[in-house]
Amino acid sequence: MDITPLIPRLIETATAQLANSYAPYSHFKVGAALLAADGRIFTGCNIENAAYGPSNCAERTAFFKAVSEGVRDFRAICIVGGQEGILTSYTAPCGVCRQVMMEFCDPQSFQILLAIDADHYKIFTLAELLPEGFGPANLG
């Protein structure tokens, strides 16, 4: 899928999520916009916890929202993040989130869009960020 025409909207949607980020401990706010195959966009933000461990990343929030609504076919995710929500550099997904992507996405074609703003972004496939990943196919 050519996501090029959707890039501005994905970046805008992920950035808008920074307002919902709950990050009173790290102060590092993250927003995500997950594009499903049917064109729907599921949003996510990071949600921290006083016990630290239960904290959830923006990417997983978006995935779990979508999967909980019966959607499992995805094409791309946009991720933005920065201290106090100020975007100055690229925020790449953590290892746990990459593994969650591996569960639902084709690593060769799923696109991970890291953005600062509409003019500054870069795109990787999941396979590039999680080489030789272990997924459902390994158990098939």
Q: Interface residues with ligand THU (CB under 6 A)?
A: 23, 26, 28, 30, 46, 48, 55, 57-59, 79, 81, 91, 93-94, 97
Q: Is 81 helix (H, G, I), strand (E, B) or coil?
A: strand
Q: Which of 48, 59, 69, 103 is catalytic?
A: 59
Q: How far is the CB of 94 from ligand THU (least distance, A)?
A: 5
Q: How far is the CB of 26 from ligand THU (least distance, A)?
A: 4
Strands (E), 3-67: 28-36, 41-45
Q: What 8-state DSSP symbol labels residue 107?
A: T
Alpha-carbon distance of 127 to 65, in angstroms, equals: 23
Let me know if 84 is a catalytic residue: no
Q: How far is the CB of 140 from ligand THU (least distance, A)?
A: 28
| Residues 94 and 60 sit within 8 Å (Cβ to Cβ) | no
Considering the complex, state which of residue 30 and residue 66 has its C-beta at the smaller distance from ligand THU: 30
Considering the complex, state which of residue 126 and residue 139 has its C-beta at the smaller distance from ligand THU: 126
Alpha-carbon distance of 127 to 134, in angstroms, equals: 11
User: Which residues are the active-site residues?
Assistant: 59
